[in-house]
Structure 1
Amino acid sequence: MSTSTTASVSTHILDTSIGRPAEGVAVHLFARGGREEDWQALGGSATDADGRCKDLPDLPEGTTHVRLDFAVEAYFEENTAKKQADAQQDAPATRDSGAVFFPEVAITFAVNPGEHYHVPLLLNPFGYSVYRGS
């Protein structure tokens, strides 16, 4: 049983369009001490070659809500050519206008003191899903 008075957060991103971790995605962490409080920017990091963000800042004591902001537009823009080269032969060569449909993904969730929250992001150019991992 944890005796910590603060929650902790970790995340990783899997690019499901290529079945690989998403490297180099900027992730920003925000916290607040109640739903009526203002968000406090705590800092951020970027995903490593494994798609993991291992050095997110600690949450302040009294945190009740957390928001992870993922800046995915730059990731998709930088990796479009590589993905097209690695794509299966039967995949369409172009999609829509080439613009990123979701330029940012913001995930907000409630936390309890002393618990760890691992929040994976499953990402592709036209959709995403998240869940509480372990």
Structure 2
Amino acid sequence: MSGKLTTHVLDTANGCPAAGMTITLWSVDCEAGTRALLKTVTTNADGRTDEPLLTDKVLETGVYELVFEVGHYFQNKDPSLPQPLFLDTVPLRFGIADAGTHYHVPLLTSPWSYSTYRGS
């Protein structure tokens, strides 16, 4: 099985995929306390990225961080949200122990909450 990293975002406040949300993917060096930007993507109409974030060619064992721009997404949907926004960016830091498997990291979010899990 080829390893890959995927994500998708569901807007639980409106009961729909979160289309048009910006997500950045970072590689994290915990020892040095640094991170390196790997890519920036935008979700499609299904709340997913058009292709995997990483595949077996570049997916490595290590620590990664996905940063979801939920504040901008919800501000565009409802400009009357109170300022400052309760949630602006949602960072999810996670580890990949086996680069040969599929890691799916979804985000379920509203302007006031979020949850995640390791999906399939």
Question: What TM-score bracket applies, with the shorter chain setting the length?
Answer: 0.7 to 0.9
How far is the alpha carbon of 1:65 from its aligned partner? 0.9
Matched, 1:14 2:6: no
Give the Cα–Cα distance (whole angstroms) in 1 for the partners of residues 59 and 117 of structure 2: 24
Deviations 1:31-78 (A, max 9, x none): 14x531432211121011110113354363544111101111111111
Partner residue, 1:84: none
CA contact (8 A) 1:42 1:57 kept: no
Q: State the partner residue of 1:133.
A: 119
Is this contact kept in 2: 1:31–1:67, CA < 8 A? yes
Q: For the pair shown, which has the larger CA radius of gyration, 1 or 2? A: 1
Q: Does 1:28 align with 2:14?
A: no
Structure 2: stretches of 5+ with no match in the other structure:
none
Identity of aligned residues (%): 36
- Number of aligned positions between the proteins: 116
- Partner residue of 2:43 out of 38, 43, 47: 47
User: Equivalent residues in 2 for 1:117-132 (5 A)?
Assistant: 117-132=103-118
How many Å separate the matches in 1 of 2:20 and 2:59?
29
Q: TM-score w.r.t. structure 2 length?
A: 0.84
Unmatched tracts of structure 1, length 5 or more: 82-93
